[in-house]
Amino acid sequence: MTVTDRRTEAPPGWLVLLLAVACGLTVANLYYTQPLLSLLGDTFKITPVAAGGLITATQLGYAAGMILLVPLGDRAETRRLVSTLLVVTTVGLTVAGIAPTYPLLLAGALISGATSVVVQILVPYAAGLSPDHLRGRIVGQVVSGLLFGVLLSRTVGSLLAEATNWRVVFLVAAGMMAVLSVALRFALPRREPTTRVPYAELLLSTVRLVRQHQPLRRRALYQAAMFGAFSAFWTTVSYVLTAPPFGFSQLGVGIFALVGAGGALVAPIAGRLADRGLSRPLTAAAFVTAAVAFGIAGFGAHNVIFLAVAAILIDMAVQGSLIFGQHTIYALDPAARSRLNSVYLATFFLGGAIGSQLGAYAYHLGGWTGVAVFGALLPILALTYWTTERP
């Protein structure tokens, strides 16, 4: 079977499930280590700010992959491209797992981060599988798998590290990527490229899309602010949970991370609401929700219930905003969905990298209160920008 962008029937349920699982497993590579930073600090004798650099390096690699690799999703045959990138991801994770020094760990994380952009090739691929009237729903289902991967990866990483050590986390992830590379190569329907232009011209055309589509620029900046806040929270909350008065073990941190997984349930609902034309007002609601959540989080330094409520609200807000943004940009140019997505997600993850590093500095300078103030500021800035948008 060959995929085209003019379909009248929904793709089979097993294929949507496979795409959701593939997105979840692949994006998890970016987040396994978020609750393990204290362990990495002990292993390599580095400060919390330096340990936070691992998250920053991974997300910078992902942003670079979005710019340099994801546009190939419009030019290359999808199955071959996806399986090749996953092989390189396997190598990067293996290097990270056996790294004897922190710089080598950073290099492995950078490689695996860059090639884990497979996720952002599969999401527009799913959009191409879907008829227009069901696109939001199906993309929401696939993205819900991605978001469960983001959230459950922290728990899996903590549990594996508790039972074995942090190196096993990387090596197990490498094994899953190897299996996934083979499975997708044989299971995905063939999708013909939508353009044959040379690679350099492809990158230049991506720049032209940024200039041409004002909604793309807006949505990318909206999500950069939201993901920066999200990353600041999850990069630093493990320090709060492992310190007094909580004193959580890695298992405890992993169990806490499960709380945020409830927020992933909003993705399919957000997709349906986007299909009804409600993306713009609900985007503002997501910004308000995130800002309020950080206000609640500010009271959580001595109360885990406040932290849990904040985690759920932050995840729901970020996920809803993500779906609304993708629904908007995929309608701009069906033949350039991978390139549109590359701009959207590169900006998004650049915001996440900045949020991770500044969140670590905020924690170093002002403790958890500093993180709460910084995290609330970002969605407030996005909301201010939103007020200048014409309906």
Per-residue pLDDT tens for 197-218?
A: 888 888 888 889 999 999 999 9
| Of 74 and 328, the one with more pLDDT | 328
Q: CA 301 to CA 62: how far, in whole Å?
A: 31
Closest by Cα among 115, 58, 68 to 88: 115
Backbone angles phi, psi at 303, to 5 degrees: -145, 110
| Model pLDDT for residues 125-180, shown as the tens digit of each residue | 887 777 776 777 787 788 778 777 877 887 888 888 888 889 999 999 999 999 99
Residue 367, CB half-sphere, CA atoms under 13 Å: how many?
A: 9
Q: Which CATH architecture has domain 11-386?
A: Up-down Bundle (1.20)
> Other C-beta atoms within 10 Å of 8: how many?
8
Q: Is the pLDDT of residue 374 over 90?
A: yes
Confidence of residue 261 (pLDDT cuts 50, 70, 90): low
